[in-house]
Homo-oligomer: A and B are copies of this chain.
Amino acid sequence: MRLAKISFFREPAGLTVAEIVAMTGAEPAADAPPDRAIADIASLERARACDLTFLDGSKHLDALAATRAGACLMTGEFAAQAPKGVAVLRVKEPYRAFVAVARALHPDALRPSTLFDAEGAAPGAHVHPSAEIEDGVTVDPGAVIGPRAAVGSGTVIGANAVIGPSVQIGRGCAIGPNVSIVHALIGDGVIVQAGCHIGHDGFRYHSNARGHVKVPQLGRVIIQDHVEIGAGSTIDRGGGGDTVIGEGTKIDNLVQVGHNCTIGRHCIVVSQCGISGSVTLADRVMLGGQVGIADHITIGEGAMVAAKSGVISNIPAGEKWMGYPAMRRYDYLRIFAQMRRRPK
């Protein structure tokens, strides 16, 4: 196998420097050839003469000096340090502009696609006759769509995914392979990566001397528009009310969200976080990797929790906390510094 030759996306259609300028609002240097063809995007180090690259901040000036890129998005500050021949495109937020071009060049990378070049329901998919599948839905082989489920136009249901009875999935979603979704209502433009399990029983028992009696879990999962959930994550349905994931929130791989949680809009939850039952995250909360949050905790708008923290008290809006038990970041770092410098 010639590994370097194998690509999993379609060859981009390409753009000219002028088209990139129009798309990003960049100001081209006087010697930037407007009709130069840009085939793809790449980092400063990897870029070929047909690639667009970018410089953000002053950290990679060495790489800039050595780059062979055809064009570079950057602020004006370091423009003079770009090698001769690179078309310098000045822009206020170079990375933002770079991402915009990347998205335009690679529309097939914006969400997972069919894994079988399927159109409509592939042979080997199991769609219950009572399910309502809009036109323009793709169902890969082995996917199971249960009775009374509904799937909106443009959505892809991945191979061997399982959609339970009465589940509603909106338009333009991508449901990955081997996902299961039950007791859930999913909005538009939602991405559920492979192997997520959504809507299963919360972990709730009434314990007595003889053991643990299962408490019926009667609620649902509501996932609002433009949420993305990473591979292998689990989101339990509500016990009485619902578990809600707010619009635009992004959840990484192997995250656990317990029953009755309310996650706000535009939150970021990094890999392997564990969010216990009945937790509330307000909008734009950020949780680092492997954070744990005790049940019934509330975290205020825009608060940030450092990786590996364990949160057992409410966090006010806008604050940065860390440690276990988590406390204000400043306090934690002070205590930690003292510990390190104590006499031996």
Contacts and interface: CB of A to CB of B under 8 A. Distances in A.
Pairs of residues from A and B, 6 with the lowest C-beta to C-beta distance, nearest first: A109-B216, A126-B141, A197-B231, A162-B177, A194-B197, A144-B159
Interface string A239-259: 011000000101011101010
A46 B260 CA distance: 14
A160 interface: yes
B168 A240 contact: no
Contacts of A213: 99, 103
Interface in A99-126: 99, 102-103, 106, 109-112, 115-117, 122-124, 126
Given A3-B185, A212-B266, A270-B203, A46 B102 contact: no
A117 to B, nearest CB: 5
Main secondary structure of the interface of A (DSSP, over half): loop
A307 B289 contact: no
A240 B117 contact: no
Copies assembled: 3
A148 to B, nearest CB: 9
Contact of A216 (B103, B185, B206): B103
Size category of the A interface is 35 or more
A236 interface: yes
A115 B164 contact: yes
Interface of A: 1, 3, 6, 8-9, 41-43, 46, 95-96, 99, 102-103, 106, 109-112, 115-117, 122-124, 126, 128, 140-142, 144, 146-147, 150, 158-160, 162, 164-166, 168, 176-180, 182-183, 185, 191, 193-195, 197, 200-201, 203, 205-208, 211-218, 220, 222, 226, 228, 230-234, 236, 240-241, 248, 250, 252-254, 256, 258, 265-266, 268, 270-272, 274, 276, 289-290, 292, 294, 307-308, 310, 324-325, 331, 334-336, 338-340, 342, 344
